[in-house]
A and B are shown apart, each in its own frame.
Chain A
Amino acid sequence: QTKVLKMQATWPASLTLYDNFTYFVDRVNKLSAGALKIEAMPAGQVVPAFEVLDATNKKVLDGAHAWAGYWTGKNKTAILFTGGPGGTFGMDFMDVMGWLYHGGGLELYNEFYQKELKLNLVVFPILPAGPQAFGWFKKPIQTVEDMKGMKCRQTGMAGEVWQALGFTVVNMPGGEIIPSAQRGVIDCAEWVGGIEDMQLGFHNVWKYHYSPGLHENVTVGELVINGDVWKELSPQHQEIIKSAANETFLVWWTKWQRQNADALIEMQQKHGVQILRTPTEILLAFIKKWDEIAAAEGARNPFFKKVHDSQKAYASAVVPYKRSYFPPYSFMANYYFPTEK
């Protein structure tokens, strides 16, 4: 007797983010010897992309492959479970996963959906979609001032930070970004970075690609499953899903870094794209503004503060310690592959 779970993603099948989903589906199928089958569907097939969380709660879908940052309209705490801007307190991917598994983060994540939002869901981290680039620009940028008066396609909490810094944030569906860019409706845009940006065709419109960004330097996507569906699964199937999600996270994360490295090479060599470092001033301005916004949100949203504090406690133990044990990435990178100066 095959158990079939129907799940939908918040992305179209054309994105490599969707490959993370199908990799997971394939692993579950093989690990269960075909007894547990997950049917993966792209955005919009059953419900519109941004309705997947509510749809999973109502069991229209058995599960969803999504990103918590899309739910900040319900409660801004959601952004923290993606890792949050700046990785939150300087945490990298490994630290954020550490916080989730060893710092009480995953319990808070589930508590957030189940108690705060009163949704019948369980959640697991599955998709490390980062680090993401700062974005694409129609001309070089040097200071925060340069960006004022520019219209940028940016969404969610990152958009909120930019708006607070005086930039103009506009939203539009993925398919409209490139035509809008060609037509001058926008002067800059952030999408995903690397191969995803190339697939959309940014390199054909703009030549100035800045990285890194601090808005999604760590960004973790989620696998949510309806609570009743989860309880009805056998303990073995539950373990298969958990293991497959973790394996997907690791395997896909490494693949993502490789594919983006290849994409950056192609952008530079084939398309004449300028790969530029985001000016420090801009990164600092971003992170300062984010801290202000986070502090303000913490003051009026107790659950936000609870999660933020939990992250701070974990980060304050791990981040400074890692600095003494981890050789700086740039030290060895510069030693073996010095940038031309």
Chain B
Amino acid sequence: MTAEALIGLIMLLVLLGAIFIGVPISFTLLFLAFSFGYWGMGGTVFELGYFQTIGMMKEELLAAVPLFIFMGFITEQAGLMERLFTAFRMLLAPVRGALFLVVILTSTVFAMATGIVGAAVTVLGIMASPIMTKAGYDAKLSAGTITAGGTLGILIPPSVMLIVMGPVLGVSVADLYAAAFGPGFLLAGVYIIYLMGRSFINPKLGPPVPKDERIYSAGYIAREVAVGTLPLLGLITATLGSIIGGLATPTEAAGIGSVGALILAIAYRRFSLSGLQRALISTMATSSMVLLLAVTSNIFGAVFARLGSANWITETMLGLQLPPSLMLIVVLLLIFLLGWPFEWPAIILVFLPIFYPVVKGMGIDLIWFGALVAVVLQTAFLSPPVAMSAYYLKQVVKGWSLGTIYAGMFQFMVLQVICVGLMIAFPGIATWFPHTLHEASRSQVIPEEYRKILEQQKQAPSLEDEDWLTPKKK
């Protein structure tokens, strides 16, 4: 190891210490990159900081981040989630553990309209928790259901996390989106099996909706379900459908989704100028937070690389001669452990680039790997004591203690780990959909009308032939 590479490693250790104390990560990254970079490479480190900044500002793909965030805020304001929740509740009322099922279904569908976690947990906390408490649902299991369901928003596309991850892994965001559906639905399914199973064994945990609160008019239920779900499903189809199915880039789809959400908000008479202003401000603050961290962690990473420390780590890890499957588990375990104290942007942007060359060097499918990382990071949202979704829930549900929420989340963390195991054992869960899309375009035949044109073209003289036969003056 060179002296410079050692400086880089010291810088990384100081970073770990500093952010554990709780200083704002962005500015710490910037400062450490500048000071250690100055030590190792001189004054040019400041220029490096600038080039990384302006380079990130030119990433058109990342414009999808504010756009999807905006779309999420507007969808939330339009009250689409409440409608969805009410509709599912009417429909599923007689089932044991109905409200668990309603929360998971609502959040799974809503996850396809929003790219972040906070909105879903907050709204479900406000709506579902009083009803669940009143119906005598188990508090721990209810809190776990809301937090776990809410975190699906960061995994199931659109996902701001996957947009940020794409360029880091050198994988197309559209492919990552396609790969995230399988694991996302698998998780929702596993949650439901777990919740239904427990409610079935012990009906006290989640009784059906009380008879006097049920609605028995099938026509009314059908109408509510239609009004509550169809517009949102339309919005989701337009947005995700245009990415997966063939019309737009992620950025463009996010733009269409934003306009669609605005139209729905107007249609539901929930649009107001002050609401728009609130959404705009929140969009700006949230995107600034994620993207400024992206900028500063890129600067940090660039200094780390420029000092030669990144290469050293890669070579050392590869030098361990672990078989790929074991190395994969080691890397995922490290990411999981890092996910405890750190938020996902820091892990994707600061630490993932360090592991990336190792993973790539071992020939591991990067789309599959991306999906695995996404599920592991989503788990970090549910890992007490530092778990964002617990805080969101606590903010809106004062009646549940953090201890109760943690106890509920912990059960779902176990389910997450089972799903990661399934994904490792059966990579197809993630890779089947993107590979099917690739295969569809590979196996195309040349139509008859094209064959004729091709024959003609093969007969036609080229410029070169003309030149050779009859040299012309220009």
A and B touch in the complex (CB under 8 A): yes
In the assembly, what is the distance between CA of A283 and CA of B462, in Å?
A: 10
Closest 8 CB pairs of A and B: A48-B55, A51-B51, A58-B47, A47-B51, A183-B246, A179-B174, A179-B172, A140-B453
A175-B302 contact in complex given A59-B44, A60-B48, A283-B463, C-beta closer than 8 Å: no
Residues of chain B in range 433-459 having any CB-CB distance to chain A below 8 Å: 437-438, 440-442, 444, 446, 450, 453-454, 456-459
Q: When the two chains form their complex, are residues B249 and A176 in contact, meaning their CB atoms are under 8 A apart?
A: yes
* A41-62 interface bits toward B, Cβ cutoff 8 Å, 1 = contact, 0 = none: 1000111111100110011100
Residues in A whose Cβ lies below 8 Å from that of B458: 276-277, 339-341
Q: Which of A51, A179, A182 contacts B55 (CB 8 A)?
A: A51
Q: Which of B47, B52, B438 contacts A204 (CB 8 A)?
A: B438
In the assembly, what is the distance between CA of A322 and CA of B58, in Å?
A: 45
Residues of chain A in range 148-175 having any CB-CB distance to chain B below 8 Å: 171-173, 175
Chain B nearest Cβ from A220, distance in angstroms: 22
Q: When the two chains form their complex, are residues A60 and B468 in contact, meaning their CB atoms are under 8 A apart?
A: no
B189 at the interface (CB under 8 A from A): no
Chain A nearest Cβ from B219, distance in angstroms: 40
A235 at the interface (CB under 8 A from B): no
Residues of chain A in range 1-29 having any CB-CB distance to chain B below 8 Å: 6, 12, 14
In the assembly, what is the distance between CA of A276 and CA of B467, in Å?
A: 19
Chain A nearest Cβ from B108, distance in angstroms: 24
Q: Which of B170, B442, B463 contacts A175 (CB 8 A)?
A: B170
Residues in B whose Cβ lies below 8 Å from that of A104: none
Residues in A whose Cβ lies below 8 Å from that of B465: 330
In the assembly, what is the distance between CA of A301 and CA of B457, in Å?
A: 40
A139-B438 contact in complex given A45-B305, A330-B465, A341-B458, C-beta closer than 8 Å: no
In the assembly, what is the distance between CA of A205 and CA of B454, in Å?
A: 18
Chain B nearest Cβ from A206, distance in angstroms: 9
Q: When the two chains form their complex, are residues A175 and B172 in contact, meaning their CB atoms are under 8 A apart?
A: yes
Residues in B whose Cβ lies below 8 Å from that of A183: 174, 243-248
Q: When the two chains form their complex, are residues B460 and A182 in contact, meaning their CB atoms are under 8 A apart?
A: no
Range class of the A interface residue count: 35 or more
Chain B nearest Cβ from A295, distance in angstroms: 15
Q: Which of A39, A51, A60, A180 contacts B249 (CB 8 A)?
A: A180
In the assembly, what is the distance between CA of A184 and CA of B54, in Å?
A: 30
* A206-232 interface bits toward B, Cβ cutoff 8 Å, 1 = contact, 0 = none: 011000000000000000000000000
Residues of chain B in range 176-220 having any CB-CB distance to chain A below 8 Å: none
Residues in A whose Cβ lies below 8 Å from that of B438: 182, 204
A280-B462 contact in complex given A140-B457, A175-B170, A182-B246, C-beta closer than 8 Å: yes
Residues in B whose Cβ lies below 8 Å from that of A6: 306
Q: When the two chains form their complex, are residues B52 and A47 in contact, meaning their CB atoms are under 8 A apart?
A: yes
B157 at the interface (CB under 8 A from A): no
Residues in A whose Cβ lies below 8 Å from that of B440: 182
In the assembly, what is the distance between CA of A171 and CA of B245, in Å?
A: 21
A330-B468 contact in complex given A46-B305, A51-B54, C-beta closer than 8 Å: yes
Q: From B172, which residue of chain A is reached at the shortest CB distance? A: A179
In the assembly, what is the distance between CA of A280 and CA of B471, in Å?
A: 15
Chain A nearest Cβ from B331, distance in angstroms: 20
A142 at the interface (CB under 8 A from B): yes
A126 at the interface (CB under 8 A from B): no
* B356-373 interface bits toward A, Cβ cutoff 8 Å, 1 = contact, 0 = none: 000000000000000000
Residues of chain A in range 308-336 having any CB-CB distance to chain B below 8 Å: 323, 328-331
B61 at the interface (CB under 8 A from A): yes
**Chain B residues within 8 Å of chain A by Cβ, number:** 57
Chain B nearest Cβ from A179, distance in angstroms: 4
- Known pairs A47-B51, A280-B461 / 9 extra A-B pairs, C-beta < 8 Å: A55-B47, A60-B47, A142-B456, A180-B249, A182-B438, A183-B248, A205-B442, A283-B463, A328-B468
In the assembly, what is the distance between CA of A329 and CA of B465, in Å?
A: 10
B56 at the interface (CB under 8 A from A): yes
A178 at the interface (CB under 8 A from B): yes
Q: From A284, which residue of chain B is reached at the shortest CB distance? A: B463
Residues in A whose Cβ lies below 8 Å from that of B305: 41, 45-46
In the assembly, what is the distance between CA of A172 and CA of B246, in Å?
A: 16
Q: From A52, which residue of chain B is reached at the shortest CB distance? A: B51
Residues in B whose Cβ lies below 8 Å from that of A54: 51
Q: From B461, which residue of chain A is reached at the shortest CB distance? A: A280
A185 at the interface (CB under 8 A from B): yes
Q: From B439, which residue of chain A is reached at the shortest CB distance? A: A204
Query: What are 30 A-B pairs at a CB distance below 8 A?
Result: A14-B170, A41-B305, A45-B302, A47-B48, A48-B54, A50-B58, A58-B44, A60-B44, A60-B45, A60-B48, A60-B51, A140-B450, A142-B453, A173-B167, A175-B171, A176-B173, A179-B175, A182-B437, A184-B246, A204-B442, A207-B446, A276-B454, A276-B457, A277-B457, A323-B471, A328-B464, A329-B464, A330-B464, A330-B465, A330-B468
In the assembly, what is the distance between CA of A327 and CA of B310, in Å?
A: 53
Q: Which of A173, A328, A340 contacts B467 (CB 8 A)?
A: A328
Q: When the two chains form their complex, are residues A48 and B463 in contact, meaning their CB atoms are under 8 A apart?
A: no
Q: When the two chains form their complex, are residues B48 and A46 in contact, meaning their CB atoms are under 8 A apart?
A: yes
Residues in A whose Cβ lies below 8 Å from that of B453: 140, 142
B166 at the interface (CB under 8 A from A): yes
Q: From B48, which residue of chain A is reached at the shortest CB distance? A: A60
Q: Which of B52, B55, B172, B460 contacts A176 (CB 8 A)?
A: B172
In the assembly, what is the distance between CA of A148 and CA of B305, in Å?
A: 45
Residues in B whose Cβ lies below 8 Å from that of A45: 302, 305-306, 310
In the assembly, what is the distance between CA of A6 and CA of B465, in Å?
A: 48
Residues in A whose Cβ lies below 8 Å from that of B437: 182
